[in-house]
A and B are shown apart, each in its own frame.
Chain A
Amino acid sequence: MSTFRPSLAFGRLGTFVLWLTLALAALGMALHPGQGGGWSSYFDGWLVRILWFSIYQALLSALLSLVLAWPFALALAYRPFRGQWLVAGFLNLAFVLPVLAVVLGIVFLFGRQGWLPLQGTVYGLKGILLAHVALNFPFAVRLLWERLGQIPDHQHRLAQVLGLNAWQRFRRLQGPLMAVASGPVFVVIALLCFSSFTVVLTLGGGPANTNLEVAVFQALKYDFDARAAALYALIHGAIAFTAIALLGRGAVLSMESAQPRRQNARGWPTLVQWLAIVLLLVLLLAPYLALINRALAASWQWPSRLPQALQTSLIIAFCSAALSVLLALSRCMPSIADHASARWLNFGVLVIPAMVMTTGLFLLCLRLGWARQATWPLVIWINALMAMPLIVQPLTARSQVARAQYQRLIRVLGFSVFQAIRWVYWPLLRPVLIWALALAAVLSLGDMGVAALVGQVDFVTLPLLVFQTMGSYQMTLAAQIMVLLLALCAFLLFLAEWARGALRA
């Protein structure tokens, strides 16, 4: 056997690149090119205020999402039903579609001219909470539903034999499990909302409602105060890291296995389940329906910058999707994927706020005088990093199955690396690779934060164009551009599902 193993080298390259990125981001924060006052001048009332707001809105958002998710998770998990994969698919939708779509939807639902106008204004804490709940409660439903689905069948049968009624069953079976599962779900959602950028920036409606991410953005874009940006990003990173540490190892792993289990559905949903599904779909789709309704309210008109934004978005989406898949592939090399440390690194990349990483890398580029040239590579790379943890698991699972089945045969027949790829890994992984590419492209298409932070004035993507259009109060136009973006995402998601379907065949 030769001593050089390409799979090992490729896997190590991926690990190295990840660590290098984290190290460079840290270096960027340390070397930030800021002048300004002494460090102590930043620890003022303003910092306390944004810290308080960041934490307060995150905890409140997580709590509301969780409370709203409980009844749905209970109803859906009551027993497996036919077509539950479809419901699970809808639950994933808000997680992958552009955040700005939900933001616009919330405005069109609850704004002054909306279907259900709020007292006062939708901008501010109320809007932020509504958007965060709309984005995260489906995620909570999915996680809790999965956990409840893990109650073994024999326990349900035992409960039946013992004649426990619904309430007693809840007290003895679902309740305790729900209580245990809710902790980690709460922390993860709180963390996601704590790191929220797009929602807080667009719905905050004023300096009173600024969180750390938005403060970083303002410091860099409006105040040109790099030191403040570095400090806020650092505090943000430290708090996020502490929260992850509190989550603990077991919780991390239980989050990881958040892929739908294929249960043998025995029958149609019960009446309660039907009610839950219909209500869930109404809640899930309402923002998008409001958005589409608004987009159709006026004749379609495209701004002159649309072609440029579309082109930029597409190039960035496909480059970062390709990079993300390459990176994910390197993470599922046998020598890498088996290590627990690899899972930690993957999970770390998932939860380290992207904006913290972006800030560090951007500060480094500023320091080196590359800020302008770095826009494209930075946006592409960080989007690739953000998507990687979400696509790595199916890729790993599939390649591990291929390896377990055929590794011996490959060696006995004397395949080279390229022959093994050609005859075994490529044909078996192709459907998952297409799925991963499409999903990573959708995630990157919808991103606004990274592009907003790193991009110069003339850099415009579709979400940025929507944001700028919102800024000039052309809400109908914003809705129309967003519908175009959603159509693009829908096409890619359809492609992804089609590829996965081909996989099952």
Chain B
Amino acid sequence: MLEVKNVKSRWADQPFHWHFQVKPGDLLAIVGTSGVGKSTLLNVLCGLHKPDSGDVQWQGDSVMALPAHRRPFGMLFQSHNLFDHLSVEVNLALGLNPSGRLTEAQRQALLQAAERFGIAGLLTRKPYALSGGQQQRVALARVFLQRKPVLLLDEPFSSLDPALRQEGLDWVKDIQTSLGTTVLLVTHHLDEMVSVTDQVLLGLNGDRWLDLSVTEFEARRQSGELTVSGLSS
């Protein structure tokens, strides 16, 4: 279980407050207008931004004292998920070991992951020479290799066209089902993914968030009780 307990933070003079839980293996969609604190939440969780108070626990253990790379979270940002000047292979290897040196077993895992994500033929290429879809598969292959139990996705596919976005989502779904990964995903395209979502976290305000199951969310939206801005379909 991922438990976010009364985490409070201030960022650019705005107060934030989060309190919710996610069951292991579930997919949580995080929605709301821009500036409501979706990215800030993920940055707090993965350890890039230190909150003022509160606790984050995974399987009952607090992660607050851990540095970003020791936390059980894999993270993909909106952009710059790959080092443009390093080859795809080095980019993948750095996910396994920051020194870039791999054991034989790690090398095999890397090659298998490359095979799985259809990038085996691109290992010597540099990311800037890849298409947007290829780049997202390299980034996903890296978090797949890291075997982190929780995946934090800050709209990594938002700049892609709908077909590629759907492809990215399929890959996430693939990782989620094959590894049992818990996924937290910030999105502006909830309608494209209602079918795969278990739970929705809706930011109304920096310190007001609704934590709903996807059926409850849909029901309240249908009834007109909820108007969600910042979503496009």
Using a CB–CB cutoff of 8 Å, the interface residues on chain A facing chain B are 1, 405-406, 408-409, 411-416, 419, 423-424, 427-428
Contact = CB atoms under 8 A, between A and B. Distances in A.
Interface residues of B, number: 20
A406 B83 contact: yes
- In order of increasing CB-CB distance, the 5 nearest A-B pairs are A414-B69, A405-B80, A411-B68, A419-B98, A415-B98
Interface in B123-179: none
Given A411-B47, A416-B98, A423 B69 contact: no
B85 A409 contact: no
Given A1-B67, A428-B85, A423 B94 contact: yes
A47 B98 CA distance: 65
Contacts of A1: 67
A288 B46 CA distance: 60
A419 B100 CA distance: 9
A412 B98 contact: no
A415 B67 CA distance: 11
B48 A408 contact: yes
Given A427-B86, A428-B85, A413 B98 contact: yes
Given A413-B95, A414-B70, A416-B98, 15 more contacts: A1-B67, A405-B80, A408-B48, A408-B77, A412-B48, A412-B69, A412-B75, A414-B67, A414-B68, A415-B98, A419-B98, A423-B86, A427-B85, A427-B86, A428-B85
B81 interface: yes
Contacts of A406: 80, 83
A15 to B, nearest CB: 27
Q: Which of A414, A419, A428 has the most CB of B within 10 A?
A: A414
A409 B85 CA distance: 14
Nearest to B50: A1
5 contacts: A406-B83, A409-B77, A412-B69, A423-B98, A427-B85
Q: Which of B47, B69, B83, B86 has the most CB of A within 10 A?
A: B83
Contacts of A428: 85
Contacts of A414: 67-70, 98
Contact of B80 (A409, A415, A416): A409
B86 to A, nearest CB: 7
Nearest to B85: A427
B47 to A, nearest CB: 7
A409 B83 contact: yes
B77 A411 contact: no
Contacts of A424: 83
B94 A411 contact: no
B53 interface: no
